[in-house]
Structure 1
Amino acid sequence: MEYFIQQTINGVTLGSVYGMIAIGYTMVYGIIGMINFSHGDVFMLGTFAALIMFLILTSLVAGMGVAAMLLVMMATAIVMSSLWSWVIERIAYRPLRGSFRLAPLITAIGMSIVLSNFIQVTQGPRNKPIPPMVTEVYAIAGVTISLKQILIVLITVVMMTAFWYIVTKTSLGRAQRATEQDRKMAALLGIDVDRTISITFVMGASLAGVAGTMYLMYYGVATFSDGFIPGVKAFTAAVLGGIGSLPGALLGGLLIGLIESLWSAYFSIAYKDVATFSILAIVLIFKPSGLLGRPEIEKV
């Protein structure tokens, strides 16, 4: 029983990271109906921004507290991820918003390749490790839980609550929901649609920056290819939970993390991805809109 609880804790931690990345996918899709396939590499960029800031702080500032260092790293990752996502929206999406659906998809994949190769060229292809930042571990009834796991889950809950409040209770959220329902009508009612879409990209990227910082803190290593696998898993989480739904993105992330962790514990780790995508396929067969998603109503 202790082993099951331990793996559940590990799965919730991993799923929290997936969930934070997945919210970026689901927000962009919800508002413009397109998948931002470069979002995983925006997450990777946030990881490297946090890594570079860590190296700067450790070399220039002696005796800086871990909490303050994490905050500075997270702020840097948020700024860099948000800036890149804003540029991607302006270059890859806005000019192609009225074109056929495949054009923005191809452009987004191109931006993903650009970001990945940019980091590979500037930072090198090798893994970039850092010393452990948070090492406290607590043992409770035969189960160990680390402080960094607690931090990841708490930060995920706080960020999810903040984003839910923004989307459901603020004027920006009303503008986003109006743009999601009908962009032309929203523009006629005085909403700056371009500005609303850009802010949505920036909001999703800021969560990717937070996730990148947590990922670096948890695993202690970064590499230029980190955007692909977590990005695919987060996109899967968004689809599983119901793309377009913020709670669905987090739920999907938690489920993906739990499936991976529990499958690796009791079955062959080589087939954990097979198990994940098999469960996704089963869910979509019986509920095509995802667990918390709403059926898409086509406007005619």
Structure 2
Amino acid sequence: MLDDLRLQFLQSTVDGLRVGAIFALIALGYTMVYGVLRLINFAHSEIFMIGTFASLFVLMTMGISAPVGGFALIGLILLMMVVSMAASGGAAVLLEQVAYRPLRRKGASRLAALISAIGASLFLQELFALVIIPEVFDSPGRNNTPVPRILEREHLFNIGNADVSNDHVIIILAALAMMVILDLIVSRTKIGRGIRATAQDPEAAVLMGVSIDTIVRVTFLLGGAMAGVAAMLYVMEFENTQYNIGFILGIKAFTAAVLGGIGNLRGALLGGFALGLIENWGAIFVGSSMKDVTAFIVLVVVLMFRPTGLLGESLQRARA
């Protein structure tokens, strides 16, 4: 066991940071919505799923079936990212308009919104399984849908006995860059001040001239856009998607948000990377087949012993 740990620890750490970056980006959507509305948007996993199919649509439209390189690769990654962000962000805004806003205006309970979220999640899954995937992507709706490889994996350097390839670097740096941008938007811009004010005291924010509907719409847009980035990185790395691809990933991202402190942007970052590392380190001892179980165990332990998460700071307390 000690030999396995010594041989696999560094590689598991690198792989954990890679998948943790994806968890963190998805977790930002849960954190943004919870910070403003105190609502767990369980349909956020389907927002991620929509982003994966948006990236696949770009590849199909451009006829990409083999890896590309150089500036063509950079341009393709940026195009996939923009389209996925637009698709996921737009879907998140539409979801808020249809599933949540009518309930919010009627003063419905959070339980009603939660039930609406679950219903929207199931609806989007079945919509893609029965209509979108067969009609648009010409693939069996409930089967795994392959995604063409666009990036030829290349070794860059070693950290001890761990191999670091170009896909590891792209995913981690892209995720960190998007998180920094989101943090700057929330902490430094006028709309960010509106988000923090609404999260802290919606009634006072209205008296100060803040449009709650606009803030909520922007919140869903930003959270959905981060899920779109995660979706693009996921299909680039794992080269497949499915109508229910977001189910397990969504639960893990929610676990990451809770682990870091749900409602805390930097907590989502910390929780995502921490969960990725915990999963991969745990696989050394219990096997890779138990990775999914690890996420549920972490969620239970965090809720039992530190329900506020590692940072435990809500969005409204972000720096002014």
Q: TM-score, normalised by structure 2?
A: 0.88
How far does the alpha carbon of each residue in 1:94-122 deviate from its partner, in whole angstroms, 9 at most, with x for none?
Answer: 11112111111111111111111111122
Match of 1:96 in 2: 103
Out of 47, 50, 58, the position equivalent to 2:52 is 47
- 2:60 match: secondary structure: helix
Asked if the contact 2:59–2:148 (Cα under 8 Å) also holds between the matched residues in 1, the reply is: no
Asked if the contact 1:289–1:295 (Cα under 8 Å) also holds between the matched residues in 2, the reply is: no
How far does the alpha carbon of each residue in 1:248-273 deviate from its partner, in whole angstroms, 9 at most, with x for none?
Answer: 11111111111111111232333333
Match of 1:235 in 2: 254
Question: Matches of 1:103 and 1:282 in 2, distance apart?
Answer: 27
Question: Matches of 2:26 and 2:299 in 1, distance apart?
Answer: 18
- The residue correspondences of 1:14-163 to structure 2 (distance < 5 A) are 14-58=19-63, 65-97=72-104, 98-121=107-130, 122-123=132-133, 124-134=141-151, 135-140=153-158, 141-163=160-182
- 2:163 match: secondary structure: strand
AA aligned to 2:278 is I
Answer with 89-98 or 195-204: which moved more: 89-98
Question: Matches of 1:295 and 1:157 in 2, distance apart?
Answer: 20
Question: Matches of 2:244 and 2:195 in 1, distance apart?
Answer: 32
Q: 1:201 to 1:296 in 2, by over 3 A?
A: closer
AA aligned to 1:268 is G
Asked if the contact 1:40–1:231 (Cα under 8 Å) also holds between the matched residues in 2, the reply is: yes
Asked if the contact 1:42–1:208 (Cα under 8 Å) also holds between the matched residues in 2, the reply is: yes
AA aligned to 1:48 is F
1:295 CA drift (Å): 7.9
Question: Matches of 1:119 and 1:211 in 2, distance apart?
Answer: 19
Question: Matches of 2:194 and 2:219 in 1, distance apart?
Answer: 10
Gaps (5+ residues) in structure 2? Answer: 1-5, 134-140
Asked if the contact 2:31–2:263 (Cα under 8 Å) also holds between the matched residues in 1, the reply is: yes
1:243 CA drift (Å): 0.4
Provide the identity percentage: 41
- Mapped pair 1:271 → 2:278: no
AA aligned to 1:76 is V
- The residue correspondences of 1:181-200 to structure 2 (distance < 5 A) are 181-200=200-219
Asked if the contact 2:28–2:268 (Cα under 8 Å) also holds between the matched residues in 1, the reply is: yes
Q: 1:194 to 1:66 in 2, by over 3 A?
A: same
Question: Matches of 1:44 and 1:238 in 2, distance apart?
Answer: 18
1:25 CA drift (Å): 0.3
- 2:244 match: secondary structure: helix
AA aligned to 1:266 is F
Question: Matches of 1:82 and 1:227 in 2, distance apart?
Answer: 15
Answer with 128-137 or 110-119: which moved more: 128-137
AA aligned to 2:23 is Y
Q: 1:70 to 1:144 in 2, by over 3 A?
A: same
Q: 1:295 to 1:79 in 2, by over 3 A?
A: closer
- 1:53 match: secondary structure: helix
AA aligned to 2:272 is G
- 1:145 match: secondary structure: strand
What is the CA RMSD across the aligned residues, in angstroms? 2.0
What is the number of equivalent residue pairs in this alignment? 296
AA aligned to 1:29 is Y
